[in-house]
Copies of this chain bind each other. A is one copy, B any other.
Amino acid sequence: MKIYLAGPEVFLPDAVGIGQAKKRLCAAYGFEGLYPFDNEIVASPAGERTDRLIYRANESLIRRADIGICNLTPFRGLSADPGTVFEVGMLAGLGKPLLGYTNVVDDLLDRFRRQEALSFDAANDAWHDAHGMVVENFGNADNLMIDCALVETGGHPMVRHKADPREVFRDLTGFEECLRRAGGRAAKPA
């Protein structure tokens, strides 16, 4: 079974190394991991833009995958990396089951409340931000479309693991739990 490996680790200085670590873990559980850096992007003679070549390479890997495992750790703000979130949607649109994990355990609402003062409208039992816009309060780790996509397509809620903040984009504990939920069994050491 082929697993598309989505996540913001593609932006790390050691993006290739972390991808190799994820692919080794996939193999140990009996799967094949497909990682964005598997495709070397070479500037085309026609002068095609690099970003579009990356888009097409990622889409091609997503279409080849049977399922996706997505790193939904909050990235540069309240929510997951938008590139990863796009890929979660694309996988769901293509009918591929999804598993996901985050290396921060708190709900979206709790993280937002720590970041800025939200107001509570008791009459409507609703939280609002500074623009008066509703803040979701479903006990999810992120926007409901993301959390629910995991449950609806893959049958499991998001795996939440409290990682060391210094390792928040490298910790693979939640990733490995997703491999187990995908039905993988770790190969016994020889």
A interface residues (Cβ-Cβ under 8 A, vs B): 8, 11-13, 15, 49-52, 54-56, 58-59, 62, 76-83, 85-94, 112, 128-129, 131-136, 138, 140, 142-149, 151-152, 169
Residue of B13, B56, B138 touching A152 (CB-CB under 8 A): B56
Q: Which 4 A-B pairs have the closest CB atoms?
A: A93-B93, A89-B89, A77-B77, A55-B148
A77 to chain B: closest residue by CB: B77
Residues of B within 8 A of A85 (CB): 82, 85-86, 89
Majority secondary structure of chain A interface residues (helix, strand, loop or mixed): helix
Residues of B within 8 A of A129 (CB): 76
14 residue pairs of the A-B complex, CB under 8 angstroms, read: A12-B131, A13-B128, A51-B147, A52-B151, A82-B82, A85-B86, A86-B92, A86-B146, A90-B92, A91-B93, A92-B93, A93-B93, A94-B94, A131-B169
Residue of B15, B51, B59, B133 touching A8 (CB-CB under 8 A): B133
Bound Cα distance from A131 to B13, whole angstroms = 9
Are B89's CB and A86's CB within 8 A? Answer: yes
A129 to chain B: closest residue by CB: B76
Are A89's CB and B80's CB within 8 A? Answer: no
